[in-house]
Amino acid sequence: MSDINFMTTVAGSLLEGFYPSGWDFEKIDACCATGRKKLTEPAEHWHEKFKPVAVKDVKEMDKKMGNAIADQIEKAAKKGRPLALILPVGPMGMYKQVVKRIRDSKTKCNHVTTFNMDEWSDKEGNTFPGDQPGGFEHAMTEALFDPLKKYTVPPEQRNFATKENLPTYADKIAAIKAQGGKLVTVYGIGRACHIAFWEPQIAGEYEILSNWQQQTHRIGQALHPLTVEQNALHSFNSRFTLIPCWANTIGPGLFLQSDFCIGGADGAYPDRGAMWQGMSLCVTLQYGPDPWIPSSWMPTMAGRLFFMKQLAGPLLPDAN
């Protein structure tokens, strides 16, 4: 390929300083060039019980992710143990399969406590009203809690990331674990490789890795521009003016405590030969754990990461 590329032309361009300063562009580029076979080979930093799983389309992903979540709920119920579930709003199609499985098995979710991982906010952490469309509490109620009907999670055991409630997550999860419960985190991967809205630029605030790892949450976290654009494209029909520039979010001090993780990467448009999540998936799997790439920590924990097979690359110009 030509020597004229991002690494040789970024200096002095409008993009200089736009991407997180801790990103190693050559390392990112190498991850994107590997291709699916090498990309999904276990790396030294992977947990022995971590596994990436390729799927052919969104329908298959929704079913597999939904079944994986339902498995955790049903297993915990059979063992009579509490379950803490950290849940995202995106991917969302999986919740329909969760509802089907739980209603079919008649598993009451009285043992489940849910924690929404994030929520749009202003700079002070004020969030949308719970019943406002576009807000995450509204989305979860419509997609999961209401359809579960009599098997649903009790309202008092549903936690949303308001500035009052988010700081209580750590103690609530610790109490569940102390009772022999399990923490399962369900996640998507951001365009800028965030988990929840724990953005990559936060790494620049911590000189010591352990301090970054201990952070349980942020109130009114500034969003990276790539995060705003990502959500404009797939959640707001390109209308970025509806998206807040801030969010409340869990941090690595919570998601790194997970006993099992269920991830999804579905950011591909097969009918157009386009995608937005290929780079994010590639670096998540093979970059190696780094606070500047929050999603790179997910392979260090037991779990499954389901992904649309075309996202694995190699990511080349005009790839189909």
Q: Helix, strand, or coil here: 94? A: helix
- By the 8 A CB rule, do 37 and 282 touch? no
Full-model pTM: 0.95
Task: Tell me what pLDDT residue 320 has.
Answer: 44
248: domain CATH number is: 3.40.50.1360
Please give the structure tokens belonging to residue 181. 């419960």
What phi and psi, each to the nearest 5 degrees, are found at residue 118?
Answer: -165, 175
In a domain, 3, yes or no: no
Task: Tell me what pLDDT residue 319 has.
Answer: 46
Q: Helix, strand, or coil here: 261? A: strand
In a domain, 320, yes or no: no
Task: Tell me what pLDDT residue 130 has.
Answer: 67
What phi and psi, each to the nearest 5 degrees, are found at residue 138?
Answer: -60, -45
In a domain, 8, yes or no: no
pLDDT per residue rounded down to tens, the chain (320 residues):
457 888 888 899 999 999 999 999 999 999 999 999 999 999 999 999 999 999 999 999 999 999 999 999 999 999 999 999 999 998 889 999 999 999 999 999 999 999 999 999 999 999 977 677 778 899 999 999 999 999 999 999 999 999 999 999 999 999 999 999 999 999 999 999 999 999 999 999 999 999 999 999 999 999 999 999 998 888 888 899 988 999 999 999 999 999 999 999 998 887 777 899 999 999 999 999 999 999 999 999 999 999 999 999 899 886 44
Residues 285 and 288: their CA atoms lie apart, in Å, by 7
Total of domains in the chain = 1
In a domain, 23, yes or no: no
In a domain, 1, yes or no: no
Q: Helix, strand, or coil here: 317? A: coil
In a domain, 2, yes or no: no
In a domain, 303, yes or no: yes
Domain that holds residue 101: 42-312
Residues 172 and 114: their CA atoms lie apart, in Å, by 10
Handedness of CA 101, 106, 107, 110 (dihedral sign): positive
- By the 8 A CB rule, do 306 and 214 touch? no
In a domain, 7, yes or no: no
Task: Tell me what pLDDT residue 167 has.
Answer: 98
